[in-house]
Structure 1
């Protein structure tokens, strides 16, 4: 996952070097999730009929190649757009197929906790992406950063190939067509979590894609201000988000899962509604608020995915995860793009009002999540 958030981590530099508009930057940030969205229904659903390890290996290979090609061939909007789309296909072949590989290899009451730890590790990968890409780019430039991301994905390929034992899926009592998604959509309990997850991911990736740029704008407007760099703040935020996701998953096990998720969504929506208007506060305070926002966003992440997996019919678990990921990361594609469009329409990246309205747009979407969770 080192390369997943490589572009958002360096977004201000690419805007300057390539002369991108905020809308174009939003397209490049979001197109990874478009590639993910188109590929994930096929790749994850296949795990109902074959060992998910095989799908994962293909995805890791694509992810590695996409980053290596970006390092040597990206030179503007269109080339970056195409290669980040390919990176999204690689993510589609690893993230949810990796979850299915875990589900196929665990049993019993602790399975929900394993699922929660796996999905929480997404934040660890996110923090690593921001931290490693930012540090390497500062020392040796963005081409070296993307090259390292490609090598890291190929290392994941080698690790899983060497270490993960085989585990063929247990055949269902009644054979089913894995690409018949009708029963998945009719499963109201699972779809409540799926739609709630879509609202969550819209906010999550909208905020993650623009957090560094927002903090860079705040820092630039306050010469001499002290505090962590924007990429360091994003790294810390992602690490805190991982812990938050694990804690939220445990709360969902102890208490009513839907209520825990709904309260988390309402809390993050309230902060999103105001945080963009607070860029005039001292930089250190804004960083603190963004870290708190990262914590609130992520409380429900693992709990929502675990809820969808546990509510799925066993023989359609791969298909349910596919729809969960399709709608979720489809929202992840639109979220950064919509954020950039609001930013442009409201006055651009140097306007406090524009930043405020862009973050508030995230609040509107995630505020719909609790309504989806009422489906049972």
Structure 2
């Protein structure tokens, strides 16, 4: 499943990896337009995931995963063939996000449905943290191909990646959930589960920060290379790849810390640390390149360190018969705020001077810090509000 997910993630940041260097100049886009186009992926995901993930409480999640992987790959290839500007690019990239809505959380459901009873925290964390390796490969492959053969080639090739998950779906065993009756989109039991809601809203803050930095990381480092004299080997390709790949050990270690010291405490510490690092970067956007490179690598550790712990906490807090609905709300909130993060940071960049302005990049990181700082408040709200009730509905 993790190997299949690597393939599914090859298209994931193909647009963000080429946004500042290729797509915005070619189509004359502002940072706000570029951010909005990138957020189309998260918006398409947000619209589809409530239905697709909740559907896994009724049919084998493997089938949803299979269909979503196929749509994601085809839409990515279609972007390379048909995208000609802001509107066509946003619409097609939203379809790619819609496909990924059937490929990520349904994949997690397909995995947890086949795990033995007991603590699944480490398995869930391995699955979620392998996300970072896939994103790193997406950054690397998309930029290398675009620089060598044009940005359209990057979409053609990365669009082939989801075939890996198609193969995985065909290899894993079939398993169907117990038949259910009632409304498909019934989130009342999830909203009654305060413990799960705390992790869900915390995940939203995490996604705002994560998608915001992934959208503009290449653009920021392109600015640093042009204005602060970074050495030629310290390229946007290398920086974005390293930033993404170190996320995997960071997420795993974050979850281990949560198991050892307590989940709420560990997540809160990580989020506050991440906000502080973002502020330091924002207030020092004109620092020497080696200083910013070091700070970005630290940020690459703090940004994802809460991801596995948040998702594992949500999964553990979910009532088994409503796990699909809980995963659906988790993903809807997360990717809804991802879309706001990508667009909002683009608006901030334009408002403070644009991609060639140090003030613009300073404001981007200040916005990211403000977003993740809301995460600890969500966890505190869940704790002081009490665990809530687990509401059951007839099967």
1:223: how far off?
4.4
Choose from 115, 127, 147 the match for 2:136: 127
Task: Note closer, same or farther for the CA distance 1:125–1:243 as it changes in structure 2 (3 Å cut).
Answer: same
Partner of 1:243: 249
Partner of 2:387: none
Confirm or deny: 8 A CA contact 1:53 1:160 kept in the other structure. Answer: no
Partner of 2:365: 359
1:342: how far off?
0.7
Question: Partners in 2 of 1:147 and 1:361 — Cα distance?
Answer: 34
Question: Partners in 1 of 2:353 and 2:189 — Cα distance?
Answer: 46
User: Can you give the 5+ residue segments of structure 2 that lack an aligned partner in the other structure?
Assistant: 1-8, 384-395
Choose from 293, 302, 308 the match for 2:299: 293
The reply on whether 1:18 has 2:27 as its aligned counterpart is: yes
Secondary structure of the residue aligned to 2:159 is helix
Q: How does 1:1-376 map to 2 (within 5 A)?
A: 1-12=9-20, 13-157=22-166, 159-170=167-178, 177-223=183-229, 225-374=231-380, 375-376=382-383
Question: Partners in 2 of 1:65 and 1:156 — Cα distance?
Answer: 14
Task: Note closer, same or farther for the CA distance 1:291–1:18 as it changes in structure 2 (3 Å cut).
Answer: same
Confirm or deny: 8 A CA contact 2:228 2:287 kept in the other structure. Answer: no
1:66: how far off?
0.4
Task: Note closer, same or farther for the CA distance 1:353–1:257 as it changes in structure 2 (3 Å cut).
Answer: same
Question: Partners in 1 of 2:102 and 2:88 — Cα distance?
Answer: 22
Give the length in aligned residue pairs. 373
Secondary structure of the residue aligned to 2:153 is helix
Secondary structure of the residue aligned to 1:231 is helix
Task: Note closer, same or farther for the CA distance 1:223–1:269 as it changes in structure 2 (3 Å cut).
Answer: closer
Give TM-score, length-normalised by structure 1: 0.96
1:244: how far off?
0.2
1:238: how far off?
0.8
Question: Partners in 1 of 2:239 and 2:230 — Cα distance?
Answer: 17
Confirm or deny: 8 A CA contact 1:226 1:284 kept in the other structure. Answer: no
Q: Deviations over 1:243-292 (max 9, x none)?
A: 10011111112221011001000000011112123232222221221111
Confirm or deny: 8 A CA contact 1:178 1:316 kept in the other structure. Answer: no
Q: Deviations over 1:221-246 (max 9, x none)?
A: 13463442112211111110111001
1:305: how far off?
0.6
1:63: how far off?
0.5
User: Can you give the 5+ residue segments of structure 1 that lack an aligned partner in the other structure?
Assistant: none
1:170: how far off?
4.7
**What do you get for the CA RMSD once the two structures are aligned?**
1.4
Question: Partners in 1 of 2:196 and 2:239 — Cα distance?
Answer: 35
Once the two structures are overlaid, the 10-residue window that deviates more, 10-19 or 309-318, is 10-19
